[in-house]
Amino acid sequence: MPKPFRRAMDGASKSPAMAEKHRASTCRLLPLRQGDAAPGAPFLWLLSLGVKESDPRDSAEQCANASKQQRRPIKPRTTQTSAKPNPAKNRPARYHPPPIAKPKARSPMALKATIFKAQLQIADMDRNYYAEHALTIARHPSETDERMMVRVLVFALHAHERLELGKGLSDPDEPDLWRKDLTGLIEEWIELGQPDEKNIIRACGRAGQVFVYGFNRAAEPWWQTAEAKLARAKNLSVRRISSSGEATLTQLAQRTMQLHCTIQDGQVWLGDGERTVAVEIATLR
């Protein structure tokens, strides 16, 4: 039996309510004329297949002809030709390992300054200055004991309540010692060793008086070279420090020091109670 008629028979075997529900849910069914069916035969329904609603007295042949006219022609399926495979797309991607990072060179650890403490008693008879100063000295790692003790000696020569120890080797923009007035203006700028001539000229423009103290054998050769370049610096004084006798300033260097300094008639003595160093100061300019 064809599928439309088989489906119609399935709907006819049900009750009228179920048949009506089956008709609404599946598709539109049309009954045959009463005269076409045999007496006592089940009421048959035919599938309309998209036919507009018609009179139930229409014959099955009219429904079939209408469904053929309403049916759309089925277009044959066209097979799509697959594009040519691209070997570059199917090729697995090459593995590029990440670049190996070179280890960073570790910068050398900065060495900390060594702290020295000195209790300095000063008796300057030439300036009539008598006082005691507690000094905290931060010695740079590159600074020698001799240079550090020269700073203590120069502090005694220029002792004042506003005289301070500068950063020195730790900061090129600051001197080894300086003194400022109450307004912040620099009254004295003191350098040790053989500073650069440009720095000295710059300091002469910033301070009222500039002092340079040389303390080793290179002091006089340095001054012979720099004297012509520093001739225009009118507020510059250059001096050389040398110790006489067996004792030297380096022998006085201790982490905690008790020092006394005596100045009279241009002569300087610096000691710690056990030894005393006689210091000579020559003026080069």
Domains within the chain, CATH numbers bracketed: 3-71 (no CATH), 114-283 (3.10.640.10)
Beta-bridge partners for 190: 177, 211
Q: Do 124 and 130 form a contact (C-beta atoms < 8 A)?
A: yes
Which of 3-7, 108-112, 126-130 has the lowest average pLDDT? 3-7
Q: What is the pTM of this model?
A: 0.61
- Report, as an integer, the average pLDDT of 235-250: 82
Beta-bridge partners for 230: none
Q: Do 116 and 140 form a contact (C-beta atoms < 8 A)?
A: no
Q: Would you call 136 helix, strand, or coil by DSSP? A: strand
Please give the helix or strand (H or E) that residue 161 lies within, else none: none
Query: Taking Cα atoms as reference points, which of 69, 237, 74, 213 lies closest to residue 154?
Result: 213
Q: Do 62 and 46 form a contact (C-beta atoms < 8 A)?
A: no
Whole-number percent of the chain with pLDDT over 90: 33
Between 279 and 42, whose confidence is greater? Answer: 279
Supply the pLDDT for residue 11: 47
Asked if pLDDT for residue 15 goes beyond 50, the answer is yes
Confidence of residue 64 (pLDDT cuts 50, 70, 90): low
Which of 28-42, 125-139, 144-158, 191-205 has the lowest average pLDDT? 28-42
- Report, as an integer, the average pLDDT of 101-115: 68
Asked if pLDDT for residue 266 goes beyond 70, the answer is yes
- Report, as an integer, the average pLDDT of 196-218: 90
Enter the tokens of residue 263.
């100045």
- Report, as an integer, the average pLDDT of 122-140: 92
Confidence of residue 162 (pLDDT cuts 50, 70, 90): very high
Query: Helix count (H) and strand count (E) of the chain?
Result: 7, 12
Q: What DSSP designation does 195 have?
A: -
Between 191 and 21, whose confidence is greater? Answer: 191
Supply the pLDDT for residue 171: 78
Asked if pLDDT for residue 49 goes beyond 90, the answer is no
Query: Taking Cα atoms as reference points, which of 32, 34, 39, 36 lies closest to residue 9?
Result: 32
